[in-house]
Structure 1
Amino acid sequence: MKLSAVLFLSAVSTVLAGQTLVFPTQTSTSYVEMTPLKPLNLSAFTLCMRVATELSGEREIILFAYRTQHYDELNVWRELDGRLSFYLSGHCVLFKTPELGPMETHLCFTWDSSSGAAAVFVDGRKSLTKIYRKGHVIRSGGKVILGQDPDAYLGNFEAKQSFVGEIGDVNMWDTVLSDSTIRDMFNGKKVERGNVFDWESTQLRTNGDVVVVNREL
């Protein structure tokens, strides 16, 4: 690896507050690996991010991927028909929501194993609740990436499923946050940082054509 690339990766691995990731083009090589603060052995979660893309209505888009050696443990998608979904080691739960577009959207996905309750929040507004994978547990020991859908452990990427656009403020908790907390987060208020992923401190490793952009807070 060239020295310049090493320095770039080192810079990306520092504080990310006020920064976003831009994936400028469709590729099968560009992605970002995220290092969790704790193992992803989860019986509940809240996953939030800010997303903008101009691919709306054209094709499916991977928004978040967590895969172990044998399973897609948690994958989040914008489906071909515009619906949002997430998959927990099998079939998905789907939500009909306002479509993503070039203007930034704040997304949160929530799920609780004890009840199976699953929901999505778009710019602070909650969808209806659906019941999905009651009693399931997300297993640890895998890799989390942004930008690609791994059909094998950190590999077998397809350009037509890659993320193109801007993504940032990716935070994850091992609990379901309250509706009011998610609304506060959308409105830019300070909330307790994610204990699985905290965008202000999570280490990232970029691969391929990914640009880190500073933004005003």
Structure 2
Amino acid sequence: MLFPNPTKTDYVTLRPKDKIFRQISVCLRSYTELTRKHSLFSMATHRWHNAFLIYPKPSKYICVSINNEDIYFKPGPDALEWKHICVTWDSETGLLQLWINGKRYPRRVTKTRSPIVPPISVILGQEQDRFGGSFDYYQSFVGELTDVNMWDYVVSPATIMAYFADYYTISGNVYSWTREKYSVTGPVSILRNQFYQK
């Protein structure tokens, strides 16, 4: 998916299975020249507009929000390259993990231990300030996104490492990039069977 311009009107809506998430994993690949903050993956519920949010500000931090609790990781200087990002969270222990290009960053523990409950709204390319909308031009994503997958369990480190090292496709059991449906709003281009490199 190619998001060509900063807007507050262009986005992609995913249609994952509606369920209670006591554990969650999201993996995706992104490529961008943005140096400002932007949203890659935004899940909202009626209670929390940032139920599960992946929100980088290149060269400074990546924020992961769980039920509106912001947790900051500092991955260091960004090179212009495809980034394979995986985030896993377990509501029982609060353990939050961020992986970028096969490297795990120091683990964190969230204060919130409440599961994410349906209904959910999942948006790519924009950050939801209310369920399904209220987007901000200056938080929009510009660049390419691919291989977005979701699971209702914590994906193992071995699987994440193998995925990055071997560059093979894995499919989420809640949302699979290769099987599930999505809808596009605005001029977001869907580039099928295009070659890209790590």
- Do Structure 1 and Structure 2 share a fold, with TM-score over 0.5? yes
CA positional deviation for 1:143? 1.1
Partner-residue secondary structure (3-state), 1:61: coil
The one of 174, 180, 192 aligned to 1:202: 180
CA positional deviation for 1:192? 5.2
Q: Distance in 2 between matches of 1:166 and 1:126?
A: 23
Q: In the alignment, is residue 23 of structure 1 matched against residue 7 of structure 2?
A: no
> How well do the aligned residues superpose, as a CA RMSD in angstroms?
1.8
Partner-residue secondary structure (3-state), 2:18: coil
Other-structure match for 2:56? 78
Partner-residue secondary structure (3-state), 1:187: helix
Q: Structure 1 residues 135-144 or 68-77, which shifts more?
A: 68-77
CA contact 2:29–2:85 (8 Å) conserved in 1: yes
Other-structure match for 2:25? 46
TM-score by length of 1: 0.83
Other-structure match for 1:15? none
Other-structure match for 1:68? 45
Q: Distance in 1 between matches of 2:187 and 2:79?
A: 21
Q: Distance in 2 between matches of 1:130 and 1:28?
A: 31
Partner-residue secondary structure (3-state), 1:185: helix
Other-structure match for 2:12? 32
Pairs within 5 Å for 1:183-194: 183-188=161-166, 190=168, 193-194=171-172
Other-structure match for 1:150? 128
Report the number of matched residues.
Answer: 194
CA positional deviation for 1:208? 0.5
Identical aligned pairs, as a percentage?
30
CA positional deviation for 1:78? 0.6
Q: Where do 5+ consecutive residues of structure 1 fail to align?
A: 1-20
Other-structure match for 2:87? 109
CA positional deviation for 1:201? 0.6
- For 1:143, the aligned partner's letter is S
Q: In the alignment, is residue 138 of structure 1 matched against residue 116 of structure 2?
A: yes
Q: Deviations over 1:31-86 (max 9, x none)?
A: 000011x2241111111000111012xx2111111112342211110137631121
Q: Distance in 2 between matches of 1:42 and 1:48?
A: 16
Q: Distance in 2 between matches of 1:34 and 1:143?
A: 8
Q: Distance in 1 between matches of 2:124 and 2:184?
A: 9
- For 2:34, the aligned partner's letter is L
TM-score by length of 2: 0.90
Q: Where do 5+ consecutive residues of structure 2 fail to align?
A: none
Which structure 1 residue ranges, 4+ long, deviate > 6 Å from structure 2? none
Question: Who wins on radius of gyration, i.e. which is larger?
Answer: 1
Other-structure match for 2:74? 96
